[in-house]
Amino acid sequence: MPILFTRTPENLRIMRFDDEYFRFFDRRRMANETRGASKHCIERNTFPHKFKKIVRDKTSDEDVDKCTICLC
């Protein structure tokens, strides 16, 4: 009967280490690559918006509780 190659736990541990080691360096290499949209792409696809100043009455009560999101 031929002897089949079987993996010992030690060999599996070494293989697992090698895989993790190479994955680590792949991730490290890919970190230097640019991800997402470039600044030019964002500026090209962003709509310009100008905020309008809201004129408030001088007689309005400033002590009134205001919305914490929009402060109106």
Domain limits of the chain?
A: 7-32
> What's the per-residue H, E or C state across the chain?
CCCCCCCCHHHHHHHHHHHHHHHHHHHHHHHCCCCCCCHHHHHHHCCCCCCCCCCCCCCCCCCCCCCCCCCC
Would you write out the chain's pLDDT as a tens digit for each of its 72 residues?
455 556 565 665 666 667 788 888 787 776 666 667 888 888 888 887 777 887 777 666 566 666 767 666
Q: Give the separation between CA 20 and CA 9, rounded to whole angstroms.
A: 16
pLDDT of residue 32: 60
pLDDT of residue 53: 81
pLDDT of residue 1: 47
Statement: the pTM of the whole predicted model exceeds 0.95: no
pLDDT of residue 11: 60
